[in-house]
Structure 1
Amino acid sequence: MTGKGLGLLIVLGLAIIVGSQSLYIIKETETALTLQFGQIVDNDIPAGLHFKTPFLQNVKKFDARILTLDAQPSRFLTEGKKYVIVDAFVKWRIKNVLKYYKATSGDRFEASNRLADLANKGMRNEFGVRSLHEVVSGERDQLMSKLTADLNKETLDNFGIEVLDVRIKAIDLPEELSNDVYRRMRAERDREAKEIRSEGSELAEGIRAEADRNKTVTLANAYRESEQIKGEGDATASNIYAKAYSKDSEFYAFTRSLKAYTETFRSQDVLLLKPDSDFFRYMKDAQGK
């Protein structure tokens, strides 16, 4: 290779190196700033292709997308002096890259720690002025909105971080408080069960008493009707007997005697009677005289 060709190759290599050090690309999902000898010379660089002074300036890039801080569950004291364990997360993003870099040196871990401390401080203040019922259900949405607004103002001013949302995943009671609550719940449920059972027993007694009364009334009415029917039947039978007797009293007396003989001698074969008793009336004389 000739000296001219070698020199051209060297120049081309240097041009490539200088070009690679001079050009840089910022993506749509990034934000960046330019440093020169450790001093910030440009910030909030828009997405696209950009130039910088080679070897003298360097570019710091940061994720501009919405990030999630999933904090460790923390213990807070409510207004009623009840402890709760809160598991929450924070949605945030870099809004002012200059403030962000000055406050955290561009360290995302440092930014997350500071944001977690501020979020815990805000939740401690908000939980401290609310009762357990309010933080669990009553004013939960209001609490989250206020906490998000207050936290966003503080982080935006101090760290260039925009807090988009603070949400609570779970609120749990400490084990000792949970056991106490469960005991009270069981006692309340037992009391309600006893009241319901007592009301049921009272209702059952009323139903049984009503059923017994109805039974007594029904049997009494049935007995009365049966006696009436029996009396009417006896009256009808007596009337029939009377009519039959009035038609032929002698024949009626004869048939009654035969029936008496049949019934008497069927059950016993020895009788002790006077010879002139009316029982032997038709045995002595067919005419009954």
Structure 2
Amino acid sequence: MNRLGTAPARRALTHILLLGFGFAYVYPFLWAVGSSLKSKLDFLDTGLSLIPPAPRWENYAQAWQEASFGTYFMNTLIISVTSVLLTLLFTAMAGFALARTTFPGKKIVIGVIMITFLLPHGYTIIPVFDLVNALGLLNTLWSVILVQVGGGLVFGTFMFMAYFSTMPRELEEAARVDGAGFNTLFFRVMLPLAKPMAATLGLFTFISSWNNFFLPLVFTLGRPELRTVGVGLYAFTNQTTTNWTLLCAGAIISLAPIVIVFIVAQRYIVEAIAGAVKA
């Protein structure tokens, strides 16, 4: 009887604790939303309050104009979308080849790829910078795209390799009986079946590319007009002051595409996770 009586209380306590942790987790985002609608004076007076005394929606328009977000938004969109497409194409092909074919030295190739995955990015930035400069791509959008794609190839390759390894051999054999070659088998059979994994990896790549600050700053330093949204947020800071309300408004604007992409790709992400758990 005692145990039955305490079970609901334990569940209620668990729910309260989880709600508390959840609120603490999302509080910084809610604070940024509230602060983006405050005036400079209200920002200083209300401190950690989430609710602005008098919402100033014009902060978003002002942030968009002062930080040249129109140009930076387009730069970021071009870099992110191109990075996603190239990353998915290259990693899907490499993952399929490693998962469904055998060739001499396959284990060595996988081992070398794994070693490169363990290398810290900070150790490779100088040789990568020299390579991009030697190719004449420095201070171009392509320099940022290629470096970001190169940085995501190892993780994506292993993700696709694991996903393709779980597919039944009967599908491949049936396609080959129908006369499908290697390219037809990949593009028309296997790749469409890997949509959940492609959506999941594409979302992670898009978020990483959209939020990247270091690479766009380094490889477009000589041409400020090629800055991305993340780098453009620095327009609200200088040596003496920071316009926190506009900075928060700019941060919320930069988050909007990520939220939209996540909502669109959410169903595929759930399918990929469910497939991984089932496997």
TM-score higher than 0.5: no
Range of TM-score over shorter length: under 0.3
TM-score by length of 1: 0.21
Report the structure, 1 or 2, having the larger strand content: 1
Report the structure, 1 or 2, having the larger helix content: 2
Higher Cα Rg: structure 1 or 2?
Answer: 1
Higher relative contact order (CA 8 A, sep 6+): 2
